Structure 1
Amino acid sequence: MVHQRETVRVGVLGCGNVSSRYVANLAGQPEVTVVACADADPARARALAATHQVPQVRSVDELLTGPGVDLVLNLTPPRAHADLTLRALDHGRHVYTEKPLATSLADARCIVETAQARSLRVGAAPDTFLGAGARACAKLIAAGRIGVPVSVNATMMNAGPERFHPEPEFLYQEGAGPLFDIGPYYLAVLTALMGPVARVGALGATPRAERTVLTGPRAGVTFEVGTFTHVTSVLEFASGALGTLVTSFDVAATRAPHLEIHGTEGTIVAAQANSWGGPVLVKGKGDADFTEVVAGPTAADGFMGMGLVDLARSILTDRPAAATAARGFHILEILTAISTSAHTNGRFTPVHSTLTAP
């Protein structure tokens, strides 16, 4: 479906913690215009509109069914992603959703098939693989700087989002936790660089049954944990390369590299995969030491929402998008397989994906 206008009109659904960052980043991007916002809590929508000069505040139903919106930016909690994405598709809207695409493979497949049936497009975060850091890694691999990639080590370890998030409870429930909350960023980059994953094995742990909110007006409130907060997984890529991925909300401090890619002739050391930039260092065959090819974070590295902008360009020009629902589906397949393995004491679990991108 090609739009005849020069910009895609975006309605923001979900005006919580991350919405302000999205709207600020989209301002000035000619391919998109944020025209409306909505939230189950109207006060949140009004606050977002006032802060960022969003022209209209609508109810959720009005945003999904009313005129003047081409694409819904779904920033609701993960458990609501599938239902609201499907409702938007049913009303002829394209959708770009925060990760994950859905919380079950059945719902994710329904999204992809519905979009295909209606000739609509669905994009899914994360989009960090489009940033300067991951693109530099891809170029180094393509140029043969490290030979044939044979392994990758990735770590995302911190003390948990209750340190900075005023309402972190949902991040500690099934379908979230460090694996489903931050794991998608790493898997988006790893699969972009190493190709699809064929099977996984994993172990998980929950050292603390309760957590405490540490910031904002609810500081001091305790809540129960409903998912693994530390997951160590092994990945076997379809290429035969192997990898490890550790995601944890239980680590007070670490000096482990965020991302290393090892080849037959060298190694790439990259920044954390939930960022868009560097630093990126490489040591190839014959090199005396690592050299920096991308410096530390800069404003030109990329931004949260660049996947949505790319999706809008694809709608306007009828070309393939990068952060597609099919990519999001494969990431969810990997996450689900890791979770299954962790719940079955490390039993290796296959990953199969045959979907194409809408």
Structure 2
Amino acid sequence: MGEPLRIGIVGAGAISGAYLDSLDRLTRPLRVTAVADLDRTRAKAAAGRAGDAVALGSVAELLAREDVDAVLNLTIPAVHAEVALAALAAGKHVYGEKPLAATREEAAAVLAAAGAAGLRVGCAPDTVLGTGTQTARKAVEDGRIGTPVAATAFMTTAGHEAWHPDPEFYYRPGGGPLLDMGPYYLSALVHLLGPVAKVTGAVSTPRAERVIGSGPRAGTRFPVEVDTHVTGVLHHASGALSTLVMSFDIPAARLPRIEVYGTEGSLSVPDPNGFDGPVELNRGEGWEELPVSAGFPGAGRGVGLADLADSLRTGRTHRASADLAHHVLDTMLTLLDAAHEGVTRDVASTCEVPTLVTTGRV
């Protein structure tokens, strides 16, 4: 299996724990060698969880290390592209949290830099590589619902300020329900129905400010700078239509996460923010749960990075690719543009649908 891919983590915030929980149990060789965070105390805590990793106080220190082959970029969305470009310039592969970047221009710069350097860039979400989305995808590809006609995707919550102690970045440019949670749902829809060709939608911002609900800053008020309720229709190149609702303004709902409808049946798909969950099929005689037939079982955050490491060994294209992440970002930004303009707009980008994950472990 060769030498392990040596990982340097940039950003030791809340999401880093989920990665550290799963990286050490992935069977393809990955080894965290360094952790950098502006808060050195957080860096030390994360490095301690990773075993013999070194804690650093700056990105520059991490990028200068020869024992870092790839950067796991867990910074806030506004600096995703900045960190990725610096890592590529230092000769490191990159795998980052979503979104790939805050703007199309930044995303294009990351893709160009990776191509010029001959380096790999991967991007979350890798949840869609779990058994939930992949089993549903195999059912679609096997013709279990006939020809796909439409899908629905709903993410509804009252907002992240209720639980996150520092939620402001969710409500600044680069945040909002679509850019924050949309990548999970749009990535799943692309896996299920293919790339998106055009979009239309509507948006609103019912509240001009929010209040932090937990932690040492509870009660602090802060302004909202983005759309917090987004409704859209995605026209897939395949001809299928997806209806999308992403909201930080809904306190409670009973909407399904994702459903896919075909000429011969319907699929209930589990939450794409998770790796597994029941996939149910209804062909007119009631709902039946399908057995797991595809996807990485027992996966956790970082399985996309492990898949990237494996792709370096085998020469294939990694599944949580920058091309997919770029198309998802472009689709989301085009949807927001179309909503503000009150028009339907073509999505300029496209992507190859990643290969189906046959059951097994990375």
Range moving further from structure 2, 40-49 or 252-261? 40-49
User: In the TM superposition, what is the alpha-carbon distance from 1:355 to its structure 2 partner?
Assistant: 6.5
Matches within 5 A, 1:92-107: 92-107=91-106
Q: Deviations over 1:304-355 (max 9, x none)?
A: 11111101111233221101110111001101101111222x3111102257
**Does structure 1 retain, via aligned residues, the 8 Å contact 2:125–2:183?**
yes
Matches within 5 A, 1:44-83: 44-58=42-56, 59-83=58-82
**Does structure 2 retain, via aligned residues, the 8 Å contact 1:281–1:294?**
no
1:351 partnered with 2:347: yes
**Does structure 1 retain, via aligned residues, the 8 Å contact 2:20–2:49?**
no
User: In the TM superposition, what is the alpha-carbon distance from 1:55 to its structure 2 partner?
Assistant: 1.9
Q: Deviations over 1:137-186 (max 9, x none)?
A: 11111111100001000100011111221111100111111000000000
What letter matches 1:112 in structure 2? L
Matches within 5 A, 1:1-358: 5-29=2-26, 30-58=28-56, 59-284=58-283, 287-293=284-290, 300-344=297-341, 346-353=342-349
User: TM-score under structure 2 normalisation?
Assistant: 0.93
Report the count of equivalent residues. 348
User: In the TM superposition, what is the alpha-carbon distance from 1:47 to its structure 2 partner?
Assistant: 2.0
**Does structure 2 retain, via aligned residues, the 8 Å contact 1:14–1:75?**
yes
Identity value in percent: 45
2:359 is matched with: none
Query: How big is the alpha-carbon RMSD for the aligned residues of Structure 1 and Structure 2?
Result: 1.7
Q: Deviations over 1:81-127 (max 9, x none)?
A: 11110010001000001001111111111111111111100001111
User: In the TM superposition, what is the alpha-carbon distance from 1:53 to its structure 2 partner?
Assistant: 2.9
What CA distance in whole angstroms lies between the structure 1 residues aligned with 2:269 and 2:111?
A: 32
What CA distance in whole angstroms lies between the structure 2 residues aligned with 1:304 and 1:187?
A: 18
Taking structure 1 as reference, are residues 231 and 355 closer, same or farther at Cα in structure 2, changes over 3 Å only?
Answer: closer
What CA distance in whole angstroms lies between the structure 2 residues aligned with 1:315 and 1:163?
A: 41
What CA distance in whole angstroms lies between the structure 1 residues aligned with 2:165 and 2:51?
A: 24
What CA distance in whole angstroms lies between the structure 1 residues aligned with 2:223 and 2:173?
A: 12
What CA distance in whole angstroms lies between the structure 1 residues aligned with 2:41 and 2:174?
A: 27
User: TM-score under structure 1 normalisation?
Assistant: 0.94
User: In the TM superposition, what is the alpha-carbon distance from 1:17 to its structure 2 partner?
Assistant: 0.9
2:95 partner SS: strand
